[in-house]
């Protein structure tokens, strides 16, 4: 199955990489970026492997997520592809997830 990503997700991954590189070094930044890439590759084979996001239950879409360190990769499974909406830091206020999701529409 094809995995498509939003512009916001791509920006968030790039920002996270830059932050980690400056703060913790290139090795850690590359490691986290590679973990994110691995999860996206797994979604191609197992699109429903992520848990359903309880913060967004009741929405027309069924949002699922995968955890990479303290970040959630939020996505939906469509008929012919997986769409990745965003990368969300789990340490943030849960209500901010909804606001961030609206930015991708």
pLDDT reading at 94 higher than 80: no
Taking alpha carbons only, the member of 22, 29, 59, 21 closest to residue 85 is 59
CB environment 83-100: b (16+ within 10 A), e (fewer): bbbbbbeeeeeeeebeeb
Domains of the chain, each with CATH number or no CATH: 2-103 (3.30.2310.20)
Task: Specify whether the backbone of 91 is left (phi greater than 0), alpha (psi in -120 to 50) or beta.
Answer: alpha
How far is 81 from 90, CA to CA, in rounded Å?
A: 25
pLDDT value of position 47: 96
How far is 40 from 4, CA to CA, in rounded Å?
A: 9
pLDDT value of position 87: 93
pLDDT value of position 14: 97
Cα 63 versus chain centre, distance: 11
Cβ(87)–Cβ(9) under 8 Å?
Answer: yes
Task: Specify whether the backbone of 58 is left (phi greater than 0), alpha (psi in -120 to 50) or beta.
Answer: left
pLDDT reading at 85 higher than 90: yes
pLDDT tens by residue, 28-75? 999 999 999 999 999 999 999 999 988 887 778 899 999 999 999 999
């Amino acid at each position: 199955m094809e995995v498509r990503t939003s512009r916001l997700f791509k920006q968030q991954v790039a920002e996270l990489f830059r932050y980690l590189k400056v703060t913790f070094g290139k090795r850690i930044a590359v490691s986290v970026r590679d973990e994110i890439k691995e999860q996206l590759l797994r979604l191609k084979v197992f699109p429903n492997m992520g848990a359903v996001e309880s913060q967004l239950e009741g929405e027309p879409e069924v949002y699922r997520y995968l955890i990479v360190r303290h970040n959630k990769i939020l996505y939906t499974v469509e008929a012919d592809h997986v769409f990745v909406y965003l990368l969300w830091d789990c340490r943030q206020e849960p209500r901010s997830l909804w606001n961030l999701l609206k930015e991708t529409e």
